[in-house]
Chains A and B, each alone.
Chain A
């Protein structure tokens, strides 16, 4: 081979290499490790991962372990599923509801295993309190069959069955927010949902499922029906929650979208990890809205009414005064200037109007608090014994007259005529106290009952009852739903001295226990989750609570001699105002 030929060969080889080796990109190759640890999720491997069924377990063991497996944390049902038959595994739907029990009886039986639950109640799929479990359902019964020689449950109840102590630890009592029928204020609905990573998802799912069929005229959901959130609501490290709704939102008006965004913001701001929200429907922002929703958004729809005054009001020498508890001055309006003989009064939310009870709480005068030239008008007279008047956000004045035949509830809307309202469970009862939520959707009453058992009158006791109020879309009252008794957390039901709003969905209750008084918060849906709520014990003749649903303002307890701020719990301070009349707006 000559030198020239060698050169030619080398040249050709290089050229071929150049043309073939470089111009194409590889289409195969070895599998390369990409680093990372693959299937691990962000979940913290903490808490409790129960064991699956062990070989040779008896039927009762299986049921017992099944009930324990449902207490896995973070909440998951994969282990619990292993206790079910193949068919039951496919059909079991623990998402339907949650059964929360106080205590569990002995597990008995073989082919049919039963277990009795005490103090059990239900949370529906939205996390809304669905009432206590009726006695006939309080015993759970499981049909057992054998599969591959092992006992398995064939008909599990479609619910997550967990003890109260467990829900206290792993569930949060929070609110989802809907809107009142006139679309002016948010209406909170208490729910109990798992906290932790699933919190935002559970809240959003609950919100999307709406206020429930019975609350159609009480509150409205501005998130269109049929919307869903897909897998979950992920929250990134910066606290951005991605609410990617699935469903067509193009039919929404800008106002509706604004309300929907406010609902989402108010609902999700309860998750402390969330700083902002990306709200989209089918990948698009809601009409007229930015896809990025601040969690402060919709403050004007605050259920505690953002425009309401945080000032305190009281009567001093028959005149209306306002200000801080230790520095009060007369209002500019006529009630501040003259003594109109008010015994009790109520100031509307923006503190422009006052309704005062006169003539031994038989008539009501309404007048301006700020206009010195204004006059007071009598809106009601000839009553028997009125409870302090209550205002809601729409300046509707609620008056309850305790007649010998029981309470009569009267509603005064604006300058219209007083309208007698039938409140089942309250009208005609011995009503001691009444509160109306600022959104106007709830009427809370303390009803005194003297049950007669076999012709013998038992010790009287007070019941806290809640009624939902229905309006049409112009704010006209349609009806008030029958009052629901809010179960008292502890066994013996005490006499209630006073109640006051603590949050938009809870009230503080002042009641005596032997020689002291206690203040306890009760959630307005009646769920026993409030058991965990702290109660404070006070020594002294405290008779009154002064509170507001705005959590930012202090809660006071007052006696005829002095008052204390409950969160500080110092020695009572005296005041020159009539402490019995001390009140916030509403």
Chain B
């Protein structure tokens, strides 16, 4: 349900946006094209508008000048004895009104100049229906006294005979004449509508917008097609790479043509082949090694059993030997124990390598495991003068695991801690919650240098090669512990600092096969200076 909500759609859209280069390229191209087209369109329209207006203004001024010249010509011919102002004004403006009606302009005759009356005060003669307020105030002010012809833009309002009101942009031109009858200056205002120009401009605008829309769709389509040509092989390569990563090493890209993409595919295929070859070689080498170790271990068991039996005889009979020989028999017995342990560990490792390790899961209380391991290692601890303490909650910390392997892991960790504790305490902390259980072993010994915490789980690795293996460890204990942990789907991590000791933390999922998200115990111990 949530996926259908707008929020879900938005999230899907954003995911698509993040994942699709094609979508981003198309969107960017369309956006940039829109900007460019808008700018160019704006420029074109601006130019068209300017051109139209310039032409219109020129024509209008010429026509107005013509009308005024005509009026002046008429006035020049008026007999000087004609003193009827009203009639003369009517005779002057009536033909202009008629011509205006035929040629599509309006006229206002106002005056005399200097009376100070605005046009709205009346006393004007104008084309029928014309609202004299169409003559802008600025133009009226110019002609308050004698002035040369002038023009400006305005809004013309005409009430048509049928009652409709026609309104629109226009040009107002004013020029003055001297009336013969009274010698006063009167002003003729001509109002030319810009309807045709507005129509032309809107036609051009519509055409440009349509063209821009079509162009944008074309650009989007073209970009989609072009990016598809590039993106499709890349997607193909991605899929092949994913399969290679999944182990399908035989996957290859199909190479067509000789272009850059074809060469990329060829190189990719060569890389895949090379990797496949090396991986095969390494696998083979690893298999041979494992087989060798396994074989050697098995082969060593039979003579070891014999040596063991002979050793046991000697050991049992040591009391009858002189002290030196008795000591040798004891040493032999001890080394035989270590040899057997080493051999057992090697075999265990071989089993892991061969993938033959089996898990017998059951609910295990890690608190019990901790106590049992403390009991098991008490002898060794006492020998080293190390006190092993357990900090566990009242409740049990349960995890579904193979108790034998978990005990082995913990024992390995505790033994390792006692080895490096340098007579200081070793603390075992157990914690658990509903999703995971963890056990951490903390020592305050030499600690781990930077980068060593990742290497401690390597086979036969030792921090200081010169240092003796006093506890009789084989050098495989932590490796086996790590394998055991991986078998459980758990984490085994180490933390350490030189001089501050180390902490190893085992985290197991509460349920077998569960996925770990976090550990109940922090990897870095609370008493470390790192947290301070």
Contacts and interface: CB of A to CB of B under 8 A. Distances in A.
Interface of A: 4, 7-8, 10-11, 14-15, 17-18, 21-43, 72, 74-79, 81, 92-95, 98, 160, 194, 197-198, 200-202, 205, 230-236, 244, 283
A95 B79 contact: yes
18 contacts: A7-B32, A21-B42, A24-B169, A31-B150, A32-B150, A36-B65, A38-B147, A38-B175, A42-B73, A75-B80, A77-B81, A93-B83, A98-B81, A230-B95, A231-B75, A232-B76, A232-B77, A235-B73
Given A7-B35, A41-B76, A283 B175 contact: no
A205 B79 contact: yes
A202 B169 CA distance: 43
A201 B91 CA distance: 13
Contact of B77 (A37, A78, A235): A235
Interface stretch (B136-144, B269-277, B481-489): B136-144
Interface string B29-67: 001101100110110011011000100000001001100
B149 A35 contact: yes
B183 interface: yes
Shortest 4 CB-CB contacts between residues of A and residues of B: A75-B80, A78-B183, A22-B45, A232-B77
Contact of B177 (A23, A39, A92): A39
Nearest to B38: A14
B64 A34 contact: yes
A38 B146 contact: yes
A232 B75 CA distance: 7
Contacts of B138: 30-31
B138 to A, nearest CB: 5
A18 B201 CA distance: 13
Dominant secondary structure of chain B at its interface with chain A = helix
Interface stretch (B152-160, B309-317, B354-362): B152-160
B95 A11 contact: no
B80 A77 contact: yes
B500 interface: no
B152 A231 contact: no
Contact of A38 (B48, B61, B148): B148
A10 to B, nearest CB: 6
Contact of A36 (B75, B88, B152, B175): B175
B201 A232 contact: no
Contacts of B76: 41-43, 197-198, 232, 234
Contacts of B177: 39, 41
B337 to A, nearest CB: 69
B80 A194 contact: yes
Contacts of B65: 34, 36
Contact of B79 (A38, A92, A201): A201
B173 interface: yes
B94 interface: yes
A194 B81 CA distance: 10
A78 B88 CA distance: 14
A74 B76 CA distance: 9
A15 B76 CA distance: 55
A25 B198 contact: yes
Given A26-B169, A39-B176, A75-B79, A231 B35 contact: no
B38 A23 contact: no
A10 B173 CA distance: 39
Given A198-B78, A231-B91, A232-B77, A23 B205 contact: yes
Contacts of B353: none
B70 interface: yes
Of A30, A38, A98, most buried by chain B (CB within 10 Å of CB) is A38
Contacts of B194: 25
Chain B, interface size category, equals: 35 or more
B405 to A, nearest CB: 53
Nearest to A72: B80
B95 A244 contact: yes
Contacts of A202: 79
Interface in B1-38: 28, 31-32, 34-35, 38
B38 A236 contact: no
B180 A76 contact: yes
A35 B68 CA distance: 13
Contact of B83 (A43, A72, A94): A94
B79 A234 contact: no
Contact of A34 (B88, B92, B149, B180): B149
Interface in B219-249: none
A14 B35 contact: yes
Contacts of B139: 31
A36 B149 contact: yes
A233 B34 CA distance: 62
A231 B153 contact: no
A235 B72 CA distance: 11
Nearest to B77: A232
A95 B78 CA distance: 12
Given A39-B178, A231-B95, A28 B70 contact: no
Nearest to A125: B81
Given A7-B35, A37-B148, A14 B42 contact: yes
A42 to B, nearest CB: 5
B151 interface: yes
A196 to B, nearest CB: 9
Nearest to A30: B152
B302 to A, nearest CB: 74
A38 B154 CA distance: 21
Contacts of B64: 34
B363 interface: no
B74 interface: yes
Contact of A231 (B42, B92, B142, B154): B92
Contacts of A94: 81, 83
Nearest to B72: A41
A10 B35 contact: yes
B101 to A, nearest CB: 11
A77 to B, nearest CB: 6
Given A32-B151, A36-B149, A234 B70 contact: yes
B373 interface: no
Interface string B88-121: 1001101100100000000000000000000000
Contacts of B182: 78, 81
A511 B74 CA distance: 46
A11 B31 contact: yes
B529 to A, nearest CB: 42
B152 A29 contact: yes
A362 to B, nearest CB: 55
A17 B149 CA distance: 34
B334 interface: no
B175 A34 contact: yes
Of A14, A18, A81, A95, most buried by chain B (CB within 10 Å of CB) is A18
Of B72, B77, B198, most buried by chain A (CB within 10 Å of CB) is B77
Given A37-B148, A94-B83, 10 more contacts: A10-B35, A11-B38, A22-B49, A25-B153, A27-B155, A29-B152, A31-B138, A34-B151, A78-B183, A232-B75
A27 B80 contact: no
A330 to B, nearest CB: 55
A34 B171 CA distance: 12
Given A7-B35, A22-B205, A231 B74 contact: yes
Contacts of B428: none
A35 B151 CA distance: 10
Nearest to B147: A38
A38 B176 contact: yes
B82 interface: yes
B409 interface: no
B152 A32 contact: yes
A200 B201 CA distance: 47
Given A15-B34, A25-B198, A42-B72, A200 B95 contact: no
A7 B34 CA distance: 10
A283 B98 contact: yes
Of B38, B64, B72, most buried by chain A (CB within 10 Å of CB) is B38
A407 to B, nearest CB: 43
A244 to B, nearest CB: 7
